[in-house]
Chains A and B, each alone.
Chain A
């Protein structure tokens, strides 16, 4: 099977410290690849480097014909391990989708059609019941499913998941 992504001599330094030091790999198209390693090995930084969120050197080449110099949601979906939001922010799951998917500010209102669209997206991950819940009041596993529903809209070519099972309730 062909490669979707080729990584050559990828290096990342953060705060003057080397985090990634010459990563070479090919990501097989249509497959699931897992990155394992101890804390601090550079796993999350690798995902962020592929997203272009951290300064990097080396080559990250996509073989899909799209311009990935600035990754777009329709090409790369990302589910972080946690959200970096103020815990006191009264933000509902519906609001979160509005912030991410709509061009208008939240105070313009979201409307019935958009609400139904969000319910349909959440239903893909069995989470339609979370639509009106506050983001800081749902469990880590529920939040990951919400973020997964967001990452799957629109259907991305590459999905990056950071610790997908970590927030699941046992």
Chain B
């Protein structure tokens, strides 16, 4: 099965998606793998200043 999903949840997108399309003003502004697209620079451009995705590593106890 092929899945195309729309989401504001960037953590979930980073977790499950193989590809990301960034839609801006009715056009795909950029597309690629999550590691390439979900960067501070791209997200700032698409969502506005001060946006970034932080990769959380759970602590081991």
**Bound CA–CA A35/B30 (angstroms):** 10
Is there an interface contact between B23 and A160, defined as CB atoms closer than 8 Å? no
Majority secondary structure, A binding face = strand
C-alpha gap A1/B23 in the complex (Å): 23
Number of A-B contacts (CB under 8 A): 133
Q: Does A42 contact B (CB under 8 A)?
A: yes
Chain B CB within 10 Å — which of A12, A28, A35, A159 has the most?
A: A35
Interface size on B, residues (CB 8 A): 31
Bitwise interface map of A from 1 to 33 toward B, beta carbon under 8 Å scored 1, else 0: 000110000001000001111111101111111
Number of chain A residues close to chain B: CB under 8 A: 42
- What are the residues of chain B within 8 A of A155 when measuring CB–CB? 1
User: Which residues of B are at the interface with A, using a C-beta cutoff of 8 A?
Assistant: 1-10, 12-13, 16-29, 31, 34, 46-48
